[in-house]
Amino acid sequence: MTVPPITDMAPMKLVIVGHVDHGKSTLIGRMLHDTGSLPDGKMEAVKAMSDRRGMPMEWAFVLDALQAERDQGITIDTTQIFFKTPARPYVIIDAPGHKEFLKNMVSGAASADAAILVVDAKEGVQEQTRRHGYILHLLGLDQVVVAVNKMDLVDHSQARFDEVAGEVHKYLGSMGITPAAILPVSARHGDGLAVKSTNMPWFEGETLIASLDTLPPKPMPVELPLRFPVQDVYKFDERRILAGRIESGKLNVGDTLLFSPSNARAKVQSIEAWSVDGPVLSASAGQSIGITLDDQLFVERGNVASHASEPPVQTNVFRARIFWLGRAPLEVGRRYKLKLATLEHPVEVQAIERVIDVSDLSERPADRIERNEVGEVVLRARAMLSVDEFTDNPRLGRFVLIDGYDMAGGGLVSMDGFHDLRRANAPTSQNITAVETRITTDARWAANGHKSGVLWLTGLSGAGKSTLALELEQALFRKGWQVYVLDGDNIRFGLSADLGFAPEDREENIRRVGEVAALFARAGILVITAFISPYRSDRDRARAVAPDLFHEVYVNAGLAVCEERDPKGLYKKARRGEIAEFTGISAPYEAPEAPEVEVETGSLSLAQSVEQLLGYVEANFATKGS
Amino acid sequence: MNHLDSLEAQSVYILREAFNKFDRLGMLWSLGKDSNVMLWLAKKAFFGHVPFPAMFCDTGKKFPEMYAFQKEYAEKWGLNFIRRDCPPIEEIDPTLPPAARSAARKTEALKRLIAELDLQAVIAGIRRDEEATRAKERVFSPRGENAEWDFRDQPPEFWDQFKTDFAPGTHIRVHPLLHWTELDIWLYIQREGIPLVPLYFSRDGKRYRSLGDMDITNPVNSDADTVEKIIAELRATKVAERSGRAMDHEAEDAFERLRSAGYM
């Protein structure tokens, strides 16, 4: 195979960062000129622009194509500029140094292969030098060449260069970045860019261009485990094609894929493509493909296919390092839309653990993260999300948060302190496959004359869950509905007879109830469960078993009312310390934040409460004529 | 994956995102090389189908070869082809320089077409390397109610997460070719065998590098009469691609003004 001419190669993506006025635009303008990459006439145009403004040759004008920019004298937005050296083509992403423009820097730097950090020899490391350095680190961009610029203004002093180089080395090193090179340049005069500087004979390293040419491009993550997030499902013709891009790893025709979060499995029957020679038998990271399966599983956008042996993490809660771009600050308790690969799901900020001051890497506690700040948070979702640790697999370990209509921040996933919940929900045995029932849920609903689902009653002991559940069951049964109550007694006597009341036993008990309730619901029955189920994560997991059928009902009477009622005398015992970890007294109750229904049994009579729930059931489960 | 494979994969990803996010979507088909590549990529993305209309705003001043090409390939490629006439020059902002004013007819026609079809988004084949203001574009680029572009306050765009949530009244331009260069386009045309309007190929020592209206587009001197020769020419040239497009050169900010007002 012949080597393609360098003009035809993929350009190396460079981002240029650094403090405002440290000379980024000048460096770029001069680099374009010195590599012979300026289109004909451009240099004359820049000269004319400079003359018109009564300035000496201003290299930064090469970039300043917009009228508005020239008026402000600063570069506004991320620009892409192409240039080439004898070794390869480059594309420069010019990231502005102005503080408000972090979003543009991120927009540029996130896709870069390498960065040039420009530092003024006179001023040394400044606030934005540190900030930009930190963002590079955060984005996982670890190939950095440092250009110590404006050496002409410090008399080409080796001592000053060594001082600034030491300062930069120390800061980048504290984040684990080892610069590929630190070199002295005078961009305005082209000193040290394409040719070695005669003004700095003491410097033995390479020129800026030569050190760029030695950097390897960012490799495609072909060797990581397969991650194929489904982007869309197409039925343009007789084929049902799952379309998407392979984010990491490889897949072959015949491979068995595991889909998350459903845990369903199917084989790749074909890799579809238009206008290619011969059948496609394999595909790897970076390719946008389409596949058909040997089994018509329910698959939708946001599901992630992997190989069964190396699946992504499943969790509804995780830690994240966030950089915030939003106009309104990120705050505890607020909800945002998370977008991770093709997955979109609402998440809530459960906690802000710390805000990091990127100018000295110090940390402080905070209850909000302001625009342009970086912090660590815990995010919680209502359903199981398929993610990876950022350090294991960046492609599924990074996400953005949407506030209203705007992309307000980016984040990196850390599972530090949280479990992968996949095992709890996935079959241990590999030799089982889902049986496709011949009777659809729709058919069962049609036969019963109503829809089925899970009404998950949660609330404090004494709030009236069981009473309400039994009344509702009776009322619906009289109307001819298929309805059944699951409560502590009938579950604890049999299915969960092996479990005690330790926290992990309670968690397992609720997991079993969630599974059983989902089976009943799929069988066409309206299930009413009556469990305190105090933890959000347990209820979220129960919801995740059958998300489309799950309805959370918050039976809310308030602690004071429940304690006064105390039908079983349990509160008294708990107050006396005779019952350990009693919900509401010595163990927390995490109230639902957005239940489908809330019944205020503290102020409503039983009849009114039943009436309210009956109304909800009629509105959501009745089919025509029922 | 080689360079062309990566470019193709990225464009396919963008087209599929647009198709997933917008029910009412259309693609601009200017009949030029870039928009042919874009249609080709749509067929790659959707496995031989183009599941949205291919729209052409007709100034009435295109070259006869372009109209002939349109007729032939709208049918061959099975396109849902929609053509609309541009409004007369008298209805366009008279303060614009003459060629820019002429080009602005297309902007006006596009605005009307968007209103007529109630489109949420339009796919356009612009590239960052074509022209300095286009270099500042986003892949998913929001426009206000009057199609205007606020280049000072663009949404962030990273990790291939595009802006897909909008206030009512916002309209989106989707740019699947933004990361391609002119040379990339020709290398891809060569690899895939994509048909083109013959005006791109040299006749009597001249060829068109960029196609617009007959009265405001000039050919360049060239003997390149095959795709291979054009590629060889582009590897060597330092002349800007749009140098033959009069509207770019009338004033320092003519093209910027056109784009801020909604030009492609």
- By C-alpha distance, the chain A residue nearest B165 is A405
Question: B235 CB near a chain A CB, below 8 Å?
Answer: yes
B181 chain-A contacts, CB cut-off 8 A: 82
**How does pLDDT run across A25-42, given as a tens digit for each residue?**
889 889 988 988 776 667
Q: Where in A167-263 does DSSP place strands (E)?
A: 181-184, 228-234, 241-245, 250-252, 256-260
Put the strands of the sheet holding A453-458 in their side by side order.
A483-487, A526-530, A453-458, A550-555, A597-599
Contacts of B159-165 with C-beta under 8 Å, sequence gap 24+, read B159/A110, B159/A398, B159/A400, B159/A410, B160/B13, B161/A339, B161/A399, B161/A400, B161/A407, B162/B14, B162/B17, B162/B138, B163/A405, B163/A406, B163/A407, B163/B138, B164/B17, B164/B21, B164/B140, B165/A337, B165/A402, B165/A404, B165/A405, B165/A406
Question: A241 CB near a chain B CB, below 8 Å?
Answer: yes
What is the pLDDT averaged over residues B170-195? Answer: 94
Question: A282 CB near a chain B CB, below 8 Å?
Answer: no
| Partner-chain residue, chosen from B47, B159, B252, that has the shortest CB–CB distance to A400 | B159
Q: Where in A464-567 does DSSP place strands (E)?
A: 483-487, 526-530, 550-555
- Are the beta carbons of B9 and A404 separated by less than 8 Å? no
- By C-alpha distance, the chain A residue nearest B3 is A10
**Topology of the domain covering A315-418:** Elongation Factor Tu (Ef-tu); domain 3 (2.40.30)
Round to whole Å and give the CA distance between A256 and A271.
13
**How does pLDDT run across B44-102, given as a tens digit for each residue?**
999 999 999 999 999 999 999 999 999 999 999 999 999 999 999 998 888 888 888 88
Catalytic residues of A, by residue number, are 533
**Topology of the domain covering B3-180+250-260:** Rossmann fold (3.40.50)
Q: What is the pLDDT of residue A56?
A: 83
Round to whole Å and give the CA distance between B169 and B153.
17
Q: Which CATH number fits domain A6-213: 3.40.50.300, 3.40.50.720, 1.20.59.10, 3.10.450.350?
A: 3.40.50.300
Question: B250 CB near a chain A CB, below 8 Å?
Answer: no
Question: A50 CB near a chain B CB, below 8 Å?
Answer: no
Q: What is the pLDDT of residue A243?
A: 98
**How does pLDDT run across A548-582, given as a tens digit for each residue?**
899 999 999 989 999 998 888 889 988 888 887 88
Chain B contacts in chain A segment 144-163 (CB below 8 A): none
Which residues have CB under 8 Å from A325's CB, separation 6+? Answer: A102, A103, A106, A371, A372, A407, A408, A409, A410, B156
Q: What is the pLDDT of residue A39?
A: 67
pLDDT at B260 over 90: no
A398-403/A406-414 β-pairing: antiparallel
| Partner-chain residue, chosen from A40, A65, A234, that has the shortest CB–CB distance to B132 | A65
Task: Pull the structure tokens for residue A170.
Answer: 């120390």
| Partner-chain residue, chosen from B12, B156, B256, that has the shortest CB–CB distance to A325 | B156
Instruction: Give yes or no for a contact between B211 and B103, defined as CB atoms under 8 angstroms apart.
Output: no
Q: B interface mutation test: which of A103, A247, A274 has the most B CBs within 10 A?
A: A274
Q: Which CATH class is domain A441-621?
A: alpha beta
> Which amino acid belongs to residue A506?
R
- Are the beta carbons of B154 and A104 separated by less than 8 Å? yes
Q: What is the pLDDT of residue B216?
A: 83
Give the CA diameter of chain A. 97
Q: Domain-by-domain residue ranges, chain A?
A: 6-213, 228-307, 315-418, 441-621
Question: B194 CB near a chain A CB, below 8 Å?
Answer: no
For chain A, which ranges sit under pLDDT 70?
1-3, 39-41, 63-80, 94-101, 423-437, 624-626
Q: Return mean pLDDT, chain A.
A: 88
Chain A contacts in chain B segment 153-192 (CB below 8 A): 154-159, 161, 163, 165-167, 170, 181, 183, 187, 192
Asked if residue A122 belongs to a known ligand binding site, the reply is no
Q: What is the pLDDT of residue B219?
A: 92
Round to whole Å and give the CA distance between A324 and A198.
44
pLDDT at B196 over 90: yes
Q: What is the pLDDT of residue B136?
A: 73
Asked if residue A466 belongs to a known ligand binding site, the reply is yes
Residue A534 CA: distances (Å) to CA of A458, A560, A587: 7, 17, 9
Q: Return mean pLDDT, chain B.
A: 89
The arrangement of secondary structure in A228-307, i.e. its CATH architecture, is Beta Barrel (2.40)
Task: Pull the structure tokens for residue B61.
Answer: 């001043």
Q: Is the pTM of this model over 0.90?
A: no
A404 chain-B contacts, CB cut-off 8 A: 165
Burial class (CB in 10 A: 0-12, 13-18, 19+), A238: exposed
Residue A279 CA: distances (Å) to CA of A115, A271, A531, B43: 40, 8, 55, 17
Asked if residue A460 belongs to a known ligand binding site, the reply is yes
**Residue A376 phi/psi, 5° resolution?**
-115, 130
What is the pLDDT averaged over residues B170-193? Answer: 94
Asked if residue A385 belongs to a known ligand binding site, the reply is no
Question: A345 CB near a chain B CB, below 8 Å?
Answer: no
B46 chain-A contacts, CB cut-off 8 A: 234, 236
Asked if residue A464 belongs to a known ligand binding site, the reply is yes
Helices (H), A387-502: 422-425, 441-448, 465-478, 488-492
Question: A274 CB near a chain B CB, below 8 Å?
Answer: yes
Question: A67 CB near a chain B CB, below 8 Å?
Answer: yes
Cβ-Cβ pairs closer than 8 A, A with B, add up to 143
pLDDT at B126 over 50: yes
**Residue B160 phi/psi, 5° resolution?**
60, 25
| Partner-chain residue, chosen from A7, A65, A236, that has the shortest CB–CB distance to B183 | A7
Domains A228-307 and A315-418 in one fold: yes
User: 10 Å Cβ neighbour count for A610?
Assistant: 19
- Are the beta carbons of A78 and B136 separated by less than 8 Å? yes
